[in-house]
Amino acid sequence: MSILDPTADSPQQVRQRLTETWSDPYGTPGFFSTVDHKRVGHRYLVTSFVFFLLGGVEALLMRTQLATPDAAVLNPDLYNRMLTMHGTTMFFLFLGTIIAAWGNYIIPLAIGARDMAYPRMNALSYWVFLFAGIFLYASFFVGAIPDGGWFAYVPLTTDYSAGLAMDFWALGVVFVGISSTVGAINFIVTVFKMRAPGMTMSRLPLVVWSTLTTSFMILLSFPAITLAPLLMAFDRIVGTHFFDAALGGDPLLWQHLFWFWGHPIVYVVFLPPIGWLYMIIPTFTGRPIAGYNWAVAATVATGFISFGVWVHHMFATGLPDVTASFFSVASLGVSFPTAVAFFVFTATLWTARRIRWTAAMLWAVGALVSFVIGGISGVMVAIMPFDWQAHDTYFVVAHLHYVLVAGNVLPMFAAFHYWLPKVTGWMLDERLGKTSFWVTTIGLHVLFFPQHWLGLVGMPRRVYTYPAGLGWDVANLASTVGGYMFAAGVLIAMGNFFVSWRRRAPAGSNPWGAGTLEWATTSPVAPYNFAQIPEVHDRYPLWTLDGDVVDDPVGIAPQPGGVVLADEHHETLETVGLDARLGGVLAMPGPSYWPFWTAAATFLCFFGFLIQNPITLTLGLVAVAATLIGWHHGHLTGGEH
């Protein structure tokens, strides 16, 4: 260990040494062995976005089929498969992972750390995600696309789905769950142990609070979505009867397990995006967030209450009234913290020094405004008699898309416009950014608003077509037009990325004049993040008390007397306690191929289970064990950090 004295070495020398220590090997070896949270975050971003596009293509196919009555774009069977893969892709391969993407990229920077607490586990969670995505989509190439709905209700998916289709689904979902769980553990430890000295819990950026909360939620809810599909796979492949009522099993058990994950997950997918907005909106209003403590309380309360509401997805299953009433009340209750969050945003905007309507800000405020519609329709369906009417109609499709798209997709674009300059080092075009915002957001409302009405006049969801003359034609056509408009907006945003890439207008370290630590280092970020580990004294370290931007951010040039760790290992500071006292110096693991191989071996296990081949399965298990031994060999013999 060495804490360099920057007065002896010039800042250039210090930086060079840090770069040598923290850089990955060049080329392919670096590609497969990197554990750098920024590169992992990068990959998460690209991969999740690709799945977003795939899910979008499936959605557009469905919408095209539904544009006119009695259409024949998709046959019923293919429609089922597209519906299943659209929902599955969006939930498991996009919504759940885009939050890991920004979490990976931003969290270590926002807390002033040099990496995640477990860099190799971080790489593992990405590789597992990638392999699980490939596993699920391999079903397309063997003609066994899952067809039982993304909610996979039994017995539809146990007794009435032949072939490998739902085996792909059940095993793929278990597989991708490993990635989320590993990632959640990593975020929790990172937030508790790696904060820069002085970053007390009450100075924690709000995006970190929301990621911390959702990480706990993932840990508590994912066991259900691991267990349920595993039991389904056993019922299907091994011949057990967990869900078979005739032999003492219980089909409702599936619904309970599925929604015990399925409800909290909707908060898991929108709390981090709300956290992004908590970062973006203060920057463009030029003032700290109003009501920080309220925002933290709302975030944590949402996490708690969301575990007490899953049965609202089962109001139509004939539950005892007392049970159902409890869940109805709890569902209404969860809207309180969300309302608090909205007051926080409103107060911040209301008391702004000066609102700067950048593209990022437009996307952020557009998301908030649109989300309100989903919130209101949510309160409506939380009331049982209303839900009995609206259940399984397009009203629910409208509701769920409002919350998911306004609660995650629009904030994702806000985050892109806000943080991409940090990731790439160049600015996105503002004009194109605003155009894409308007096209996408208007598209969103044209797409989903008419579906409320369709639901109220009785159009059921999960149908592949409808006859003419029911009065549903115009609204369906409008909805499809909106779908294409939404897609056009997404394409413009992508076009913006490539145009701006060619232009490469330099971003500088803090282009928006933001106040939080991720802007205290170069853009793009150097491999070591911060030359000097920052010391934190308030919530917005880069703002003076009057809200002006500090000129020479802390992490870029090592200052005399600061802590600069530049040994031959990846080193960073560990802090302890809620007040982030200096704990010691951590030597972090460097690049490694093992995470990749462990993920590949896990793929082999799932593949063996899928094709019901005991030899492949055994080989896979042995391979997992072998890669884990290889991974930890250094620890076991004490030879390596």
Shortest separation between residue 558's beta carbon and ligand HEM, angstroms? 43
Q: Name which of ligand HEM, Cu ion, none residue 59 binds, using a CB cut-off of 5 to 8 Å depending on partner kind.
A: ligand HEM
211 within 8 A of 297, measured Cβ to Cβ? no
Query: Exposed, middle or buried by CB within 10 Å (0-12, 13-18, 19+), for 139?
Result: buried
Pick the binder of ligand HEM from 241, 256, 356, 461 (CB under 6 A).
461
The tokens for 37 are 């949270």
- Listed in sequence order, the residues at least 6 apart from 237 whose beta carbon sits closer than 8 Å to its beta carbon are 167, 609, 612
Which residue sits closest to ligand HEM, CB atoms considered?
483
| H or E, element range at 586 | strand 581-588
d(CA 115, CA 190): 8
Residue 49 or 426 with smaller CB distance to ligand HEM = 49
Q: Which does 63 bind (CB under 5 to 8 A by kind): Cu ion, ligand HEM, none?
A: ligand HEM
Closest contact distance (angstroms) between CB of 262 and Cu ion is 7
Q: Which is nearer to Cu ion, 292 or 315 (CB)?
A: 315
**Among ligand HEM, Cu ion, none, partner that 263 touches (CB below 5 to 8 angstroms by kind):** Cu ion
- Residue by residue, DSSP assigns 270-296 as HHHHHHHHHHHHHHHHTSPPTTHHHHH
When asked if residue 60 is in the footprint of ligand HEM (CB under 6 A), the reply is yes
Q: How far is the CB of 262 from ligand HEM (least distance, A)?
A: 10
The minimum distance between CB 313 and ligand HEM, in angstroms, equals 10
The answer to the question of residue 56 lying near ligand HEM (CB under 6 A) is: yes
Tell me the two tokens of residue 210: 């929301």
Q: Determine the Cα angle at 276 with ends 275 and 282, to 5°.
A: 95
Which residue is at the shortest CB distance from Cu ion?
A: 263
| 480 or 575: CB nearest ligand HEM | 480
Closer residue to ligand HEM, CB minimum distance, 404 or 415 = 404
Q: Which of 215, 43, 190 is nearest to 110 (CA)?
A: 190
Q: In the complex, what is the shortest distance from the CB of residue 316 to Cu ion, in angstroms, rounded to a whole number?
A: 14
Q: Which stretch binds ligand HEM (CB under 6 A): 59-67, 375-383, 601-609, 616-624?
A: 59-67
**Cα–Cα distance, 369 to 358 (Å, whole number):** 16
Instruction: Give the separation between CA 424 and CA 421, rounded to whole angstroms.
Output: 5
Q: Which residues contact 450 (CB under 8 A, 6 or more apart)?
A: 475, 476, 478, 479, 482
> How many Å apart are CA 464 and CA 67, to the nearest integer?
11
Please tell me whether residue 59 binds ligand HEM under the rule CB under 6 A: yes
Query: In the complex with Cu ion, which residue's Cβ is closer, 270 or 512?
Result: 270
Q: Is 526 left (phi over 0), alpha (psi -120 to 50) or beta?
A: beta
Give the helix ranges, DSSP H, for 286-334: 292-305, 321-333
d(CA 423, CA 538): 25
Give yes or no for a cis peptide into 524 (omega within 30° of 0).
yes
In the list 17, 43, 63, 114, the residue contacting ligand HEM (rule: CB under 6 A) is 63
Q: How far is the CB of 430 from ligand HEM (least distance, A)?
A: 24
Q: Which is nearer to ligand HEM, 59 or 107 (CB)?
A: 59
Q: Is residue 95 part of the contact set for ligand HEM (CB under 6 A)? A: yes
Q: Which of 259, 186, 173, 171 shows the shortest CA–CA distance to 219?
A: 186
Q: Which residues pair with 575 in a beta bridge?
A: 582
Chain-centre distance for alpha carbon 373? 22
Task: Tell me which stretch binds ligand HEM (CB under 6 A): 155-163, 396-404, 539-547, 566-574.
Answer: 396-404
Give Cβ neighbours of residue 376 (< 8 Å, ≥ 6 apart): none
61 contributes a contact to ligand HEM by CB under 6 A = no
Cα separation, 335 vs 340, in Å, equals 9
Q: Return the residues of window 262-281 that contact Cu ion according to CB under 5 A.
A: 263
Candidates 93-101, 190-198, 260-268, 599-607: pick the segment binding Cu ion (CB under 5 A).
260-268
Nearer to Cu ion, 151 or 603 (CB): 151
Name residues contacting ligand HEM, limited to 405-424 (CB under 6 A): 405, 409
Q: Which stretch binds ligand HEM (CB under 6 A): 58-66, 167-175, 277-285, 338-346?
A: 58-66
Quickly count helices (H) and strands (E) in the chain.
20, 2
Per-residue interface string for the shown chain with ligand HEM, residues 419-458, x marking contact by CB under 6 A? ----------------------------x-----------
Element (H, E) at 97: helix 96-110
Interaction mask 494-533, ligand HEM, x per CB under 6 A: ----------------------------------------
Helix (H, G, I), strand (E, B) or coil at 435: helix
397 binding ligand HEM? (CB under 6 A): yes
Q: Which of 120-128, 174-182, 400-408, 629-637 is the region at the interface with ligand HEM (rule: CB under 6 A)?
A: 400-408
Least distance to ligand HEM, CB of residue 473, Å = 16
Cβ closest to Cu ion, residue 263 vs residue 417:
263
Q: Which residues would be at the binding site for Cu ion (CB under 5 A)?
A: 263
Q: Which residues would be at the binding site for ligand HEM (CB under 6 A)?
A: 56, 59-60, 62-63, 66, 83, 86-87, 90, 95, 150-151, 397, 401, 404-405, 409, 447, 461-462, 483, 486
